[in-house]
């Protein structure tokens, strides 16, 4: 589950830092029948502001009123949704750094004593994480131990566990 907005990876024009923090603030500017909207982010090094284009010269009538209301209200949920949009990331040439911006909710540790554990992992957002890391944290195991369990066939899944994933998956752990 995400705990905060991820850092935006983009080079700062003022200090050459590569990290910006988005706080969920928007700037909206209208020119007669056209509207522009940007998500604002502050450089973690110098505090300079960068604008991530959300709408560019869009016809005002083509923009849903609900979206305009959320932009004007600086809706942080909208900011999170937009940062996860691959079209917005590609248009603005940015990447996201999710380090420290998510947590693992395991629902308790009473299941760890069982001989066979079937687990379904559900992502609250499209956060790129290696399943090996999630399994290690969720089961209280070192990553090397998880790697050993995969190699000996005690940990199996329908997906590749040593590559980054952003979607739901399941695995079975046999002890």
Q: What pLDDT, on a 0 to 100 scale, did the predictor assign at position 113?
A: 66
Q: Which helix (H) or strand (E) holds 40?
A: strand 34-43
Q: How confident is the model at residue 25 (pLDDT cuts 50, 70, 90)?
A: very high
Residue 109 has pLDDT above 70, yes or no: no
Residue 70 has pLDDT above 80, yes or no: yes
Pick the closest to residue 175 from 118, 110, 107, 104 (CA basis): 118
List the beta bridge partners of residue 21: 7, 42
Q: How confident is the model at residue 108 (pLDDT cuts 50, 70, 90)?
A: low
Taking only the tens place, the pLDDT of each residue in 27-52 is 999 988 999 999 999 999 999 999 99
Q: What pLDDT, on a 0 to 100 scale, did the predictor assign at position 112?
A: 58
Q: How confident is the model at residue 156 (pLDDT cuts 50, 70, 90)?
A: confident
User: Which strands form 49-59's sheet, in the order they lie side by side?
Assistant: 49-59, 34-43, 19-31, 7-9, 95-97
Q: What pLDDT, on a 0 to 100 scale, did the predictor assign at position 59?
A: 94
Question: What is the C-alpha separation between 133 and 135, in angstroms, rounded?
Answer: 5
Q: What pLDDT, on a 0 to 100 scale, did the predictor assign at position 110?
A: 59
Q: Tell me the mean pLDDT in the region 122-151.
A: 84
Q: What pLDDT, on a 0 to 100 scale, did the predictor assign at position 102?
A: 80
Q: Token match 């001989």: residue?
A: 115
* Mean pLDDT score across all residues of the chain: 87
Q: What pLDDT, on a 0 to 100 scale, did the predictor assign at position 146?
A: 86
Question: What is the C-alpha separation between 6 and 89, in angstroms, rounded?
Answer: 13
- The secondary structure of residue 54, as a DSSP letter, is E
Q: Report the predicted TM-score, pTM, of the whole model to 2 decimal places.
A: 0.74
In percent, the amount of the chain with pLDDT more than 70 equals: 95
User: Which strands form 155-157's sheet, in the order they lie side by side?
Assistant: 116-121, 169-174, 155-157
Pick the closest to residue 153 from 130, 171, 166, 168 (CA basis): 171
Question: What is the C-alpha separation between 34 and 55, in angstroms, rounded?
Answer: 10
Q: Which helix (H) or strand (E) holds 139?
A: helix 131-139
Q: Tell me the mean pLDDT in the region 89-100.
A: 91
Q: Which two tokens stand for residue 72?
A: 């004007």
- First-to-final CA distance of the chain: 27
């Amino acid at each position: 589950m995400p705990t905060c907005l991820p850092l935006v990876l983009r080079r700062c024009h003022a200090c050459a830092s590569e990290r910006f923090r988005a706080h969920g603030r928007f700037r909206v500017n209208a020119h007669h029948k056209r509207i522009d909207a940007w998500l604002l982010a502050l450089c973690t090094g110098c505090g300079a502001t960068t604008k991530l284009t959300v709408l560019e010269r869009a016809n005002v009538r083509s923009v849903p009123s609900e979206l305009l209301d959320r932009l004007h209200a600086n809706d942080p949920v909208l900011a999170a949704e937009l940062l996860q949009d691959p079209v917005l990331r590609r248009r603005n040439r940015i990447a996201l750094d999710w380090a420290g911006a998510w947590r693992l909710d395991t629902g308790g540790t009473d299941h760890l004593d069982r001989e066979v554990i079937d687990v379904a992992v559900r992502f609250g957002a499209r956060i790129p994480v290696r399943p090996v890391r999630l399994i290690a944290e969720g089961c209280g195991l070192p990553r090397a131990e998880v790697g050993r369990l995969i190699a000996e066939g005690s940990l199996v899944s329908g997906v590749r566990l040593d590559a980054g994933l952003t979607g739901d998956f399941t695995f079975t752990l046999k002890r």
